[in-house]
Amino acid sequence: HYSFFPGTPRWPANRRDLTYGFLPGNELTDEIKVVFSSAFQKWSAVTPLTFSRTDSFLTADIKIGFYSGDHGDGEPFDGVLGTLAHAFSPPSGRFHLDADENWIVSGDVMRSAVPSAVDLETVAVHEIGHLLGLGHSSVEDAIMYPTITSRTRKVELANDDIEGIQWLY
Ligand code: TQI
Ligand code: ZN
Ligand code: ZN
């Protein structure tokens, strides 16, 4: 079953059209932008929320960045595997990914030659759930289930995720 953060934080009713921006200096291919766009679309399809990319990182509601190791928020990344990414509850909008992962951007993560390959869209859909206010779920098929085995690709919302997000929005 789905869960929320303590106090049930969510984006307020006057902030339903959210922007997201990428940390300047991260080199992002169009493929990476498509992965995030697709991940946001999974959630906008089942809520009144919309997500659009802005070039203005500083004013973006959701700030996405790839960082290595200690990056100043007290939750350092740890190199390959371990912590992959973290996102903070609403209305923080901070969404950090571990730059040291072997991110699979497009292509089949199951067939990757790299044992530690991690599917970027799978992690992005999960972290966006956190950004919107979902905690972890006890339902194994849910996007918000707290563990994945390496080389998983899981990008379709389960009924449990949809029920949780629709309770919030
Ligand atoms: N990052 C953890 C996560 O996003 C960070 C975390 C731990 C957390 N406890 C939390 C965030 C409680 C919010 C609330 O769950 S992670 C997965 C999963 C991670 C894990 O790097 O371990 C995914 C990132 F669920 F598959 F294990 C993405 Cl998909
Ligand atoms: Zn961080
Ligand atoms: Zn999580």
Q: Per-domain residue ranges for the chain?
A: 17-168
Pocket around ligand 1 at a 6 A CB cut-off: 83-86, 122-123, 126-127, 130, 135, 146-148
pLDDT at 18 over 70: yes
Helix (H), strand (E) at residue 104: strand 103-104
* pLDDT of res. 150: 65
Omega cis (within 30) before 91 = yes
ipTM (interface pTM): 0.96
Of ligand 1's atoms, which has the minimum distance to the CA of residue 130? Answer: 13
Q: How far is the CA of 45 from the centre of ligand 1 (A)?
A: 23
DSSP code at position 127 = H
Reading across the β-sheet that carries 62-67, which strands appear in turn?
50-53, 17-22, 62-67, 94-98, 85-87
Of 51-60, 69-78, 142-151, the least confident: 142-151
Q: Has residue 51 got a pLDDT over 80?
A: yes
pLDDT tens-place string over residues 111-167 = 777 888 899 999 999 999 999 999 999 999 999 999 987 678 899 999 999 999 999
Q: What local confidence, expressed as pLDDT, does residue 112 receive?
A: 77
Count how many Cα atoms sit within 13 Å of the Cα of residue 141 in the half-sphere of its side chain: 6
**Candidate CATH numbers 3.40.390.10, 3.40.800.10, 3.30.300.160, 3.30.70.141; the one for domain 17-168:** 3.40.390.10
**101 CA from centroid of ligand 2 (Å):** 14
Among 4, 96, 123, name the best residue to mutate to test ligand 1's pocket (greatest count of ligand atoms within 8 A of Cβ): 123
Backbone angles phi, psi at 24, to 5 degrees: -60, 140
